[in-house]
Amino acid sequence: MECMTPIRILLADDHNLLRDGLRLLLERQPGFAVVAEAGDGREALRLAEQHRPDVAVMDIAMPLLNGIDATKRIADTCAPTSVIILSMHHDESYIVRALNAGARGYLLKDSLKADLIGAVKAVSQGHSYFSPQIRALLQEDYFREMSDKHKTDSFELLTAREREILQLAAEGKSNKDVAQLLNLSQYTVETHRAHILQKLNLHTVPELILYAVRKGIIH
């Protein structure tokens, strides 16, 4: 399917060598096309608006405009573009902020080759993607927090149907898609979704995604 229309990719990293390496890696992949390269956040924003790529691969630490702010602007203005954050930071605070800004994937620079191809594919199809280390980290932190605070896992409160909807929503499906997939009315899906957010004490889609990753519901 993706052989017919290639996935159009924007690369944004201020480190030229790394960018060259990334380009080489991506262009070897059939069905991938790097359409633009940016050396700073502002350029990335401008090129994203100009080329409307399917996926933007973005570093966090960039001059002029950092990757997280650039992601927020791209998510706001260039609707079809999904952003994958590429970073050396493997702390929760960066991941949470990247997700809040609208990023759909978060990769560590330690394991680019293994993850990047899969991440670009997943994100271009509307799914989320995180490096295995990131998933492990988030899950580990989550379990430690749970045991530290002696909290009961609110996941147990969800019904089977709600768990199903939680996974689909976290994978990036819209209410309409979920309704079609499960053969439910869109209104029912919306009600379920509201219940899920309430039971888990969550408020936004990024929080939902983060929760799903932490619980190991999605990859």
Partner 1 sequence: MRRHPWLALTAGFGGLLLLMAAAQLGALFMIDNLRDSGTQVQRRFLERSRTLEQIRSSIYLSGTVARDSLLAPAASASSQLAEVNRLHQQTDEALDKYQKSIEPEESAAFANLRSEIEAYWRVLDRTFAWSDAERMEYRYQFFYSELIPRRTTMLQIADRVGQLNEQALLRGDQQFSGRFEQLRLGLIGMTVLTLIGGLTLAVNTSVLILRLQNEVHTRLNENIEAKTSLRELSAKLVRAHEEERRALSRELHDEAGQSFSAILLEAENLLDEPHRDSVRPHLESIRGMAERGLAAARNLALLLRPSMLDDFGLVPALNWQARELAKRTGLRVQVSAAELSASLPEEHKTCIYRVVQEALNNVAKHAQASTAQVTLTLRNEGFIDLTVQDDGSGFDSARVRGLGLLGMEERVHHLGGEFVVDSQPGLGTRLKVNLPYADLAAAAAAATNGVHDTNTDFAGRRS
- In 3D space, the residue among 44, 55, 129 whose CA is nearest the CA of residue 95 turns out to be 129
By beta-carbon proximity to partner 1, the closer residue of 4 and 17 is 17
By beta-carbon proximity to partner 1, the closer residue of 61 and 184 is 61
d(CA 69, CA 163): 32
Q: Strand order in 129-130's β-sheet?
A: 32-38, 7-12, 55-59, 82-87, 105-108, 129-130
- Binding residues for partner 1, per CB under 8 A? 14-15, 17-18, 20-22, 24-25, 28, 41, 61-66, 68-69, 88-94, 97, 100-101, 109-110, 112-113, 140-141, 144, 148
For the bound state, the minimum distance from the C-beta of residue 191 to partner 1, rounded and expressed in Å, comes to 28
Query: Which residue stretches of the chain are H helix?
Result: 16-27, 41-51, 67-77, 92-101, 112-124, 132-149, 160-170, 175-182, 186-200, 205-215
For the bound state, the minimum distance from the C-beta of residue 75 to partner 1, rounded and expressed in Å, comes to 14
By beta-carbon proximity to partner 1, the closer residue of 4 and 150 is 150
By beta-carbon proximity to partner 1, the closer residue of 88 and 157 is 88
For the bound state, the minimum distance from the C-beta of residue 165 to partner 1, rounded and expressed in Å, comes to 26
